[in-house]
Amino acid sequence: MDRIGIVLVGAGFIADAHSAAIDADPRATLIGVVDADPGRAAAFARKQGGIRHAPDLDSALHWPGVDAVILCTPNDTHAPLGLAVAAAGKHLLVEKPLATTVADAQQLADAFDRAGRVLVAAHTHRFYDYGRAVKQTIDSGTIGRPVLVRLAILGGWIWPDWSAWVGDPVRSGGHALHNGVHLLDLATWWLGGEPASVFARGRKQTAAELRIYDYLEMVVTYADGATAVCEMSRAHRPGSLAQRELLVAGTEGIVEQGWDGESSLVFGEAGTTTLPAAGGNGFAAQLGAWLDAIGGAPPAMPAADAVRAVALGVAVEESIATGQPVAVAA
């Protein structure tokens, strides 16, 4: 089979993880890179062995051998750039969130559906060992029907300074869309239910001058009565902190997982057992699943799930602003 030719758009720090995944998969090849900063595009191209580079997506979409695009640009550019990719008849893997509004996210999903091309949002935590191990436990039926998720991902500030685009609520959509969406999507994926409402609060923990809330507490209620309690931080000290706390309670047992291991402890009526990790590098597994979907397999991250994740993030930001529970847009 011919390898899938990919253009990488955005040569920031996350681009290295995507390019490494491409290099490791024999079904894909990196054709070139696009970045609005010509110098950064050229430097990334040299690092990749002299691949093509350009300052704009339009020209790259016409390069020979291009079948697909990986989009690693600021969140507010996802909708216009994604629509250009759909119009060109290419497949798209776009960094989360799919867009910064529900309307834009749905427009993207509809455009790729009409084009008959695969659209996947890079909710990479679905492909990390820990996320897959929990999903495997739930799907096995060991803990019965899941009714509660408690998930905390705590870390220190990771961006270069307060002027970074992620700190601009217009460009990023806010912290709930940029980072909190990982937890919101995971909890919903694990629970398997339809989110009904969100109640959230945020704090500007690092500095009062921040325009986003870098610490989030989010409670999601689901139509079937399940609940997810999620805590997301990029404000903890020391800045090098990386901590995860995870518990899923079901009608017949509990799965619990610590940061120090990708396997899970399962507490059931038969006693305590260990479920091994589900495998591999998250970015490589994500790329592989996208390539599988391009080849005709069901997408591991359906576009409808990506739209729903945007709806959850938007609802969190609205709840923080109003101090009230907010219904999740259908």
Topology (CATH level 3) of domain 128-278+309-327? Dihydrodipicolinate Reductase; domain 2 (3.30.360)
Token couple for 49: 């062995």
Which amino acid is it at 159?
Answer: W
Q: Convert the pLDDT of each residue in 73-114 to its tens digit.
A: 999 999 999 999 999 999 999 999 999 999 999 999 999 999
Is residue 270's pLDDT more than 80? Answer: no
CA distances (Å), origin 113, targets 100, 109, 307: 20, 6, 13
Q: How confident is the model at residue 307 (pLDDT cuts 50, 70, 90)?
A: very high
Q: So what's the pLDDT on residue 127?
A: 94
Phi then psi for residue 255, to 5 deg, are: -115, 130
The two domains 4-124+285-299 and 128-278+309-327 share their CATH topology (first three levels equal): no
**Residue 260 in this model has a pLDDT that exceeds 70:** no
What is the SS3 string spanning the chain? CCCEEEEEECCCHHHHHHHHHHHHCCCEEEEEEECCCHHHHHHHHHHCCCCEEECCHHHHCCCCCCCEEEECCCHHHHHHHHHHHHHCCCEEEEECCCCCCHHHHHHHHHHHHHHCCCEEEECHHHCCHHHHHHHHHHHCCCCCCEEEEEEEEEECCCCCCCCCHHHCHHHHCCHHHHHHHHHHHHHHHHHCCCEEEEEEEEECCCCCCCCCCCEEEEEEEECCCCEEEEEEECCCCCCCCEEEEEEEEECCEEEEEECCCCCEEEEECCEEEEECCCCCCHHHHHHHHHHHHHCCCCCCCCHHHHHHHHHHHHHHHHHHHHCCCEECCC
Pick the CATH number of 4-124+285-299 from 3.40.50.720, 3.90.580.10, 3.30.70.1450, 3.10.20.740: 3.40.50.720
Cα–Cα distance measured from residue 56 to residue 240, given in angstroms and rounded to the nearest whole number: 35
Nearest-5° Cα angle at 248, 179 to 126: 40
Domains of the chain, by residue range, sit at 4-124+285-299, 128-278+309-327
CB atoms within 10 A of CB 86: 23
Handedness of CA 313, 318, 320, 325 (dihedral sign): negative
Q: State both tokens at 60.
A: 């790259």
- Report pLDDT for 158: 77
Q: At what angle do helices 102-115 and 303-322 cross, to 10 degrees?
A: 170
Residue 33 confidence (pLDDT): 97
Q: How confident is the model at residue 278 (pLDDT cuts 50, 70, 90)?
A: low
Q: What is the pLDDT of residues 152-189, one digit of tens each?
A: 999 888 777 777 898 999 999 999 999 999 999 999 99
Q: Is the pLDDT of residue 228 over 80?
A: yes
Mean pLDDT across the chain, nearest whole number? Answer: 93
Q: What is the pTM of this model?
A: 0.93
Q: Report the amino acid identity of residue 44.
A: F
